Structure 1
């Protein structure tokens, strides 16, 4: 199954890559090395706690408006807080900025008008040498990277000019109901189609895709059109509240109306971390997982389903707890683990420093051990 994730490329599950077990981004055959901490490369870290929604925010939407067009009211209310994000990268020889050209574009939305913070997808800003934000009033402003996290496909950027900015209202994605109407706003195809509005419903909740970043969340599925360039833009309910971050669509021939958004309630802790610390913090075990260990293969060997430990980092938290290569993790606390993705998603519910009980299979016997989760930074 193929997916589009931005304005220029087709997004599909990876076949092999290195990740941290706390947040396996794509689990599609191959050895996944877990425990490598990627250095933080963000600029302009915020050091003080920031409360999102500071400054002017979009007005609440009256769904009983006498015009009878709630989508129009949502668009009018939220549109000013939606931005375009241009990703400029080096092309040819670099002479000042003359060697930079727009490699792709996406969308974003202002979450803090007072400080100029904007949320988007990591894949929108990935590899950028320069970021340019286009506002609803026609201004084009340079932006700086505050924090980016490939494991959740989230990023926060900042513009220094905060005059006349409007921030979105954030809703509660956990309260969404299947069939509830929603509106997607973004820049499909770039500035030419800036702040395009599409409408639909919540088609389903708790969808799992084996795609880098999005596999960390139970996604919102919607039939509101999500096109290349919509990535990073808001999915909005009829109260004018952002309930999701549009991130990916099913681009397989024959499929229509299958877009997916990261739930805002699940994303918010990582957004806050990036604003406050400059990075998103994740729990980890410092092990390598071989996702070729499937339930079917395990059954043929007479082994239980689970997550197969291929390597344990010496001195890491799992090593200290006595976990060894060849162990098969079958439970985290009381949650059953059938594969590598299950382990990722189970650990995702905890924080670094939390202690969890791992149940694992070794040499024909089931054992238990307590492990303190390490902190992993992007």
Structure 2
């Protein structure tokens, strides 16, 4: 029985050992599978990491490139938008509005060699049917006048009328639907207002030039060759060729017609002059309707005088126009007109200033000094016989 037990124990041990061996063998069989799986997982992770890294790098590169392009595109877009949407200032607006209505004018004359250029200037289209106002001295003595539009087209112009005293003229070209300038109200102009000059200084080469400054003075009385001009003074550059061009306010309205001739004797930098548009309007109307300006006159020719003691001052009558109001009223040569319409007269300019307030046919009271005494007469104003220079 002991032997049986011993064997039994042995068997049990063997079975136990066998069980262990079996377990060990199981582990041996299972371990290689686990290691291979582990390496597979590691390999998979490495491949995934490498692939992910490459993909990520590619995506980041594309993203950065896209962002860079978008940034540059955005900047360019912003720059273009900024440039396109930059607000226009007053000078931009005036140049665009009035510039197309300002023309170049060439004065052609005849001499021994044939047709020659006698000068150039500017003009302002005030009627879409081809009517242009300019300075008289720009077209004075011309055998032919040519007008160049801002578009570059050139037309021969015909003279409608001129007025030497005001230095204004109206010409016409055969064209329709032209851009026109708006005529403003020069009575509202103030010192310090913006002044913008548009014209063709120094000829066609600099056509459409724009200069800007301020109104330096208003209601200046300028005398030139016996005529008085009511002008606007400005520091905007006005050069040869600007004559007849537009002086505008910041609203794009013409407030004056530039004239280099007026004030040219001063020859000072920063002092330009323009005939007030309010004065020009009436003259333009007269030139359009009659081809000339009808002005009232007493009917006398003469000069200003003053006695040595200064007690007698006035307009000395050299000649009385036959059939004039002065002739009918009995005015004689050697008379001195001291008052007209209750205003003292010491020069031709004083006389002209009074007469400009009246119209043809008006009767005005006058005081005349004759042979040491003063007499009073009434003179009916007649049409002035214009002496063009």
The TM tier, using the shorter chain, reads: 0.7 to 0.9
Q: Which has the higher helix share?
A: 2
**CA displacement at 1:252 relative to structure 2:** 5.4
Question: Which of 100, 117, 124 is the equivalent residue of 2:115?
Answer: 100
The separation in 1 between residues aligned to 2:343 and 2:285, in whole angstroms, is: 28
Q: TM-score, normalised by structure 2?
A: 0.73
Change (3 A) 1:125 1:317: same
Question: Which of 134, 139, 152 is the equivalent residue of 1:125?
Answer: 139
Match of 1:245 in 2: 257
Question: Which of 288, 291, 294 is the equivalent residue of 1:278?
Answer: 291
The separation in 2 between residues aligned to 1:218 and 1:253, in whole angstroms, is: 16
Deviant stretches of 4+, over 6 Å: none
Q: TM-score, normalised by structure 1?
A: 0.76
Change (3 A) 1:190 1:342: same
Match of 1:229 in 2: 241
- Comparing 202-211 with 222-231, greater Cα deviation is found at 202-211
More contact order relative to length (CA 8 Å, sep ≥ 6): 1
The separation in 1 between residues aligned to 2:254 and 2:267, in whole angstroms, is: 30
Map 1:76-155 to 2 at 5 A: 76-92=96-112, 99-113=114-128, 115-155=129-169
Q: Which one has a bigger Cα radius of gyration?
A: 2
Aligned residues: 301
Deviations 1:108-127, CA, capped at 9 Å, x for gaps: 000001x2100001101111
Change (3 A) 1:280 1:229: same
Deviations 1:14-69, CA, capped at 9 Å, x for gaps: xxxxxxxxxxxxxxxxxxxxxxxxxxxxxxxxxxxxxxxxxxxxxxxxxxx97252
Deviations 1:87-107, CA, capped at 9 Å, x for gaps: 0000225xxxxx212110010
Deviations 1:248-287, CA, capped at 9 Å, x for gaps: 3544577211111111111111101111122211111221
Any gaps of 5 or more consecutive residues in structure 2?
A: 1-84
What is the Cα-based RMSD across aligned positions, in Å? 1.9
Change (3 A) 1:254 1:184: closer
**CA displacement at 1:246 relative to structure 2:** 0.5
Question: Which of 212, 219, 222 is the equivalent residue of 2:231?
Answer: 219
The separation in 2 between residues aligned to 1:122 and 1:351, in whole angstroms, is: 23
Change (3 A) 1:374 1:151: same
The separation in 1 between residues aligned to 2:160 and 2:131, in whole angstroms, is: 8
Q: Does 1:375 align with 2:388?
A: no
Deviations 1:206-258, CA, capped at 9 Å, x for gaps: 21222137x33321111111111111111111110001111135445772111
**CA displacement at 1:198 relative to structure 2:** 0.9
Map 1:6-17 to 2 at 5 A: none
Deviations 1:308-328, CA, capped at 9 Å, x for gaps: 112212332211111112222
Any gaps of 5 or more consecutive residues in structure 1?
A: 1-64, 94-98
Contact 1:359-1:368 at 8 Å conserved across structures: yes
Contact 1:177-1:202 at 8 Å conserved across structures: yes
Match of 1:266 in 2: 279
Contact 1:88-1:104 at 8 Å conserved across structures: yes
The separation in 2 between residues aligned to 1:349 and 1:253, in whole angstroms, is: 29
Match of 2:21 in 1: none
Map 1:175-186 to 2 at 5 A: 175-186=188-199
